[in-house]
Amino acid sequence: MKTSTDGPLHQRLSTEFLRRISSGEWPEGDPVPSESHLCAEFGVSRGPVRQALATLRREGSLVGGRGKPPVARRTTPSQPFATFLSFTQWAESIGREPGQRTIEVARRRASPAAAARLGLGEEDFVVELVRLRLLDGVPAMLERSSLVTEVGRHLYDFDPDSGSVNAELLRRGVDLYRARHTIDAIAAGPDDAGLLQVPPGAPLLRVRRVTSSSEGEPMEYGDDRYLPAMATFTIENTIEGRTTAGRYRTEED
């Protein structure tokens, strides 16, 4: 079977392997094909196959190791990386209509918070994106992203109102590989309150995110603020130390 030609090879393999697990083509609880079998099937070397399998282990879609063959494990409807990184994928996975209204796309000097997390100097520029995200036409989250310029430049000829920025960046070959999230509570300031249609001081769930490449290079700093009535976050730890994380609609809990 051929994979898409967009994006790094290990990411394309990981996407295909995850599709097979999610569809049941690789049944839950069964060992997945060996590395040598996968190399032969896709006509690739062991390196990308191992990277792809390692990604699914980290995300909890494969279990096993330490001399044992990896076993398929179906997780929550949206996988951890995609669940947190892509609002569009999450909304569609729970049967809701995602939407967005772009407030701003601008090139400016990085804020102190963004500069610190992206390893930039105070004179360095980023591309900032601010969007109001909607579920079935109702405000759900305020998204603020600061992207390093070589990544953010892709937004200059893309309409952020048209859909997922994450999917578009991946389509263009941007190496979005790992994201680290910090979740806390914050009171809505005047700007947040006006856009999310809540009173100033209303509680919000804040998710701050640093997205890095497969080489560990910071590429994006995000500060997303959710209405608590629209989403909750669930984190499941396993005895082997892996963490499976998910974002869910509150009314479904």
- The pLDDT assigned to 87 comes to 83
Q: Which residue, of 72, 104, 120, is where some domain finishes? A: 72
Q: Which amino acid is at 239?
A: I
- The pLDDT assigned to 5 comes to 56
* Residue 3, domain member (yes or no): no
Residues 92 and 141 in one domain: yes
Task: Give the 3-state secondary structure of residue 35.
Answer: helix
* Residue 52, domain member (yes or no): yes
Contacts for 38-45: CB closer than 8 Å, 24+ residues apart:
38/13, 41/1, 42/1, 42/3, 42/13, 44/9, 44/13
Task: Give the 3-state secondary structure of residue 132.
Answer: strand
- The CA distance from 140 to 120, in Å, is 31
For strands 218-226 and 138-148, give the pairing. Answer: antiparallel
Q: Which residue intervals of the chain are DSSP H helices?
A: 9-23, 35-42, 46-59, 80-85, 87-93, 112-118, 149-152, 165-171, 190-196
Residues 120 and 245 in one domain: yes
- The pLDDT assigned to 140 comes to 93
Q: How far apart are the first and last CA of the chain?
A: 38
Residues 93 and 67 in one domain: no
Q: Which residue, of 45, 72, 99, is where some domain finishes? A: 72
- The CA distance from 60 to 197, in Å, is 37
Number of domains in the chain: 2
- The CA distance from 134 to 156, in Å, is 22
* Residue 207, domain member (yes or no): yes
* Residue 96, domain member (yes or no): yes
Shortest CA distance to 35 belongs to which of 6, 5, 58, 65? 65
- The CA distance from 241 to 244, in Å, is 10
- The pLDDT assigned to 84 comes to 56
Residue found by looking up tokens 């990085």 in the block: 110
- The CA distance from 1 to 42, in Å, is 7
152-to-75, 110, 129, 147 alpha-carbon distances in Å: 32, 12, 9, 5
- The pLDDT assigned to 238 comes to 53
Is residue 54 within 8 A of residue 242, CB to CB? The reply is: no
Here the tokens at position 59 are: 């995300």
H/E element holding 194?
Answer: helix 190-196
- The pLDDT assigned to 155 comes to 95
CATH number at residue 27: 1.10.10.10
- The pLDDT assigned to 45 comes to 94
- The CA distance from 168 to 152, in Å, is 11
* Residue 179, domain member (yes or no): yes
- The pLDDT assigned to 233 comes to 66
Residue found by looking up tokens 């209509």 in the block: 97
Residues 63 and 89 in one domain: no
Along the chain (253 residues), what's the average pLDDT of each consecutive run of 10 residues? 66 89 84 93 93 83 70 56 65 83 97 95 96 93 97 95 90 87 93 95 94 90 92 60 52 42
* Residue 204, domain member (yes or no): yes
108 is in which domain, residue-wise?
Answer: 80-252
Is residue 49 within 8 A of residue 35, CB to CB? The reply is: yes
Here the tokens at position 143 are: 């998204």
